[in-house]
Amino acid sequence: MNNRFFVICSGVGTAFGATICYKEFLQGCRYSGRENLDGKTAIITGANTGIGKETAKEFVKRGARVILACRDMERCKKARREIYLAAKAAQPFGNVNHYAKKKPQILCELLDLASHESVRAFGATMQAEKRIDYLINNAATMRDPQRKLTKDGLEKQMGVNHFGHFLLTGLLLGKLQASSPSRIVVLSSTAHYRGDLNFANLNWDEDYDPGAAYNASKLANVLFTRQLSTRLASTSVTVNAVHPGLVYTELFRNMSFAKSMTSYITAPIMWFFMKSARAGAQTTLYVALSPDLEGVSGKYFSNCQEAAPSDRALDEEMARRLWAVSEKWTGWSMDQVPPLSALSASAAKS
């Protein structure tokens, strides 16, 4: 009897231990840098949940002024409270102890990437910021079952994930340049390997496929990153794309298995096989903060290391065409970036 009890206990213990080890292994890399970001400003889109919220916590812990750029102010304020408490619990962190000097600076600002008017209003508000050191293009929408349009008539996944961020980045480039060295991080995905751009049907007017539209938007993220890095080659603003891993977040909210009764079965399975949002933020943090990546631009990262993007993502002609369409559809082009002399004059006045 005693023997059997012992065998059962050790079997259960081993299975439990193996589960914990496997789950820990799935979490991937962990960014251990403890930079002091006092005096730095970071903008994170879609920071009210998921990977964006966890990224924001780490920037705040390191002392940065963090702007949570969200479309829902109620959700944003709730997240701000959580981020504030997380930062408070984490003090002191590395060589940063901003509680001794000041309260963490966490701001909620309205940004709906599905509206160029909203993106432009956000861009205008951000001109009052003294500096912008980090722009994290994190927000995304995935797999709207029916084709939906942004306020400007663009298919929503391409509209939010690519065109909205294209316009936003453009409007903030002047500030990023004036604050350089500065970094832009674009959240893409391994979904980009399955993505393709059909320029004759870029807005999915025909044959809308939710998965293909998401994949195309994530390919657009890498093409945009590479093309922007070429255009910023003479500056100290870098831009890189990341895949955060397979992460348990609300991104899957539009998929049927996440809504129906089956979610009671699928949710624990997903939780088991996926990274936590905190683990999902690690590659973003590495690319945004690591001193090892000073001057590195136009690359694609996964699990805190450089990875090879798809052949299509390396297609220069496709990148140039996408850039031209993006300029046309958003009304923003590189020649609208104010010259540095104008920016330093206005900074001196403020």
Ligand X SMILES: NC(=O)c1ccc[n+]([C@@H]2O[C@H](COP(=O)([O-])OP(=O)(O)OC[C@H]3O[C@@H](n4cnc5c(N)ncnc54)[C@H](OP(=O)(O)O)[C@@H]3O)[C@@H](O)[C@H]2O)c1
Least distance from ligand X to the Cβ atom of residue 78, Å: 11
Site string for ligand X, 228-257 (x = CB under 6 A): ---------------xx-xx-xxx------
- Determine, following the binding rule CB under 6 A, whether residue 171 of this chain makes contact with ligand X: no
- CA-CA distance, 296 to 294, in Å (whole number)? 6
Instruction: Specify the residue, 140 or 216, whose C-beta has the smaller distance to ligand X.
Output: 140
Question: Taking contact as CB under 6 A, which single stretch among the options 56-64, 68-76, 81-89, 100-108 is the one that binds ligand X?
Answer: 68-76
- Determine, following the binding rule CB under 6 A, whether residue 123 of this chain makes contact with ligand X: no
Instruction: Specify the residue, 112 or 155, whose C-beta has the smaller distance to ligand X.
Output: 112
Q: Are strands 300-302 and 305-307 parallel, antiparallel or unpaired?
A: antiparallel
Question: Taking contact as CB under 6 A, which single stretch among the options 93-101, 134-142, 226-234, 260-268 is the one that binds ligand X?
Answer: 134-142
Which residue is catalytic, options 84, 99, 134, 214? 214
Instruction: Specify the residue, 36 or 263, whose C-beta has the smaller distance to ligand X.
Output: 263
Least distance from ligand X to the Cβ atom of residue 71, Å: 4
Contact pick of 50, 63, 123, 174 for ligand X (by CB under 6 A) = 50
Contact pick of 56, 80, 138, 299 for ligand X (by CB under 6 A) = 138
Total number of residues that touch ligand X (CB under 6 A): 29
Sites for ligand X among residues 26-45 (CB under 6 A): 45
- CA-CA distance, 343 to 257, in Å (whole number)? 50
- Determine, following the binding rule CB under 6 A, whether residue 51 of this chain makes contact with ligand X: yes
Contact pick of 38, 72, 109, 152 for ligand X (by CB under 6 A) = 72
Contact pick of 139, 219, 288, 325 for ligand X (by CB under 6 A) = 139
Catalytic site residue 208? no
- Determine, following the binding rule CB under 6 A, whether residue 283 of this chain makes contact with ligand X: no
- Determine, following the binding rule CB under 6 A, whether residue 285 of this chain makes contact with ligand X: no
Sites for ligand X among residues 75-114 (CB under 6 A): 75, 111-114
**Position closest to ligand X via CB:** 50
- Determine, following the binding rule CB under 6 A, whether residue 225 of this chain makes contact with ligand X: no
Contact pick of 28, 41, 42, 48 for ligand X (by CB under 6 A) = 48
- CA-CA distance, 268 to 251, in Å (whole number)? 16
Give the per-residue SS3 of the chain.
Answer: CHHHHHHHHHHHHHHHHHHHHHHHHHCCCCCCCCCCCCCCEEEEECCCCHHHHHHHHHHHHCCCEEEEEECCHHHHHHHHHHHHHHHHHHCCECCECCCCCCCCCEEEEECCCCCHHHHHHHHHHHCCCCCCCEEEECCCCCCCCCCCECCCCCEHHHHHHHHHHHHHHHHHHHHHHHCCCEEEEEECCHHHHHCCCCHHHCCCCCCCCHHHHHHHHHHHHHHHHHHHHHHCCCCCEEEEEEECCCECCHHHHHCHHHHCCCHHHHHHHHHHHCECHHHHCHHHHHHHHCHHHCCCCCCEEECCEEECCCCHHHCHHHHHHHHHHHHHHHCCCHHHCCCHHHHHHHHHHC
- CA-CA distance, 98 to 275, in Å (whole number)? 30
Residues that bind ligand X (CB under 6 A): 45-46, 48-52, 70-72, 75, 111-114, 138-141, 160, 187, 189, 243-244, 246-247, 249-251
Catalytically annotated residues: 214
